[in-house]
């Protein structure tokens, strides 16, 4: 089964139903139980922070609480939490000099968990040679 790493931006855009076609297909596959989407705990924390600030995403103002967003994604949705553990830190130590903290932890989770691609609009990850879907 295909497995993907999602960053905070992809999760936010999913919440407002504004994903581009390719990423939307991967989330639909996960909703149908045909794929797995993992989000590093750090990405979920970023998402909850954004929701708490009523951030505007793709012209849509986020509503609801951070807990509502967590439930929609993790408890009742297609996303599983990928805790940052020692395996991610080992990978992060290898890429820390090439990425921001955020991008580095996304790439580290992708590498440590051997996911098929990263669901992201972040060009830096793709430019570094990692498979991305957006």
pLDDT at residue 92 greater than cutoff 80: yes
Across the range 111-134, mean pLDDT stands at 98
pLDDT tier at 98 (50, 70, 90 boundaries)?
very high
Angle between helices 41-52 and 101-113 (to 10 degrees): 140
Distance (Å, rounded) from C-alpha 6 to C-alpha 77?
13
Strands 60-61, 56-57: pairing kind? antiparallel
Extended strands (E) in the chain: 2-6, 35-40, 56-57, 60-61, 79-82, 117-119, 132-133
pLDDT of residue 34: 98
pLDDT tier at 110 (50, 70, 90 boundaries)?
very high
pLDDT of residue 63: 83
Q: What is the pTM of this model?
A: 0.95
pLDDT at residue 54 greater than cutoff 90: no
Q: Cβ(32)–Cβ(71) under 8 Å?
A: no
């Amino acid at each position: 089964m295909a497995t993907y790493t999602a960053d905070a931006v992809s999760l936010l855009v999913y919440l407002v139903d504004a994903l581009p076609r390719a990423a939307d297909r991967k989330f639909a596959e996960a909703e149908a139980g045909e794929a797995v989407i993992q989000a590093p705990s750090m990405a979920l924390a970023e998402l909850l922070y954004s929701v708490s600030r009523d951030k505007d995403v793709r012209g849509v103002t986020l509503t609801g609480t951070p807990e509502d967003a967590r439930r929609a994604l993790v408890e009742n949705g297609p996303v599983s939490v990928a805790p940052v553990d020692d395996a991610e830190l080992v990978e992060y130590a290898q890429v820390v000099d090439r990425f921001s903290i955020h991008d580095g932890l996304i790439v580290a989770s992708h590498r440590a968990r051997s996911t098929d691609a990263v669901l992201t609009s972040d060009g830096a990850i793709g430019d570094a040679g990692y498979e991305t879907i957006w």
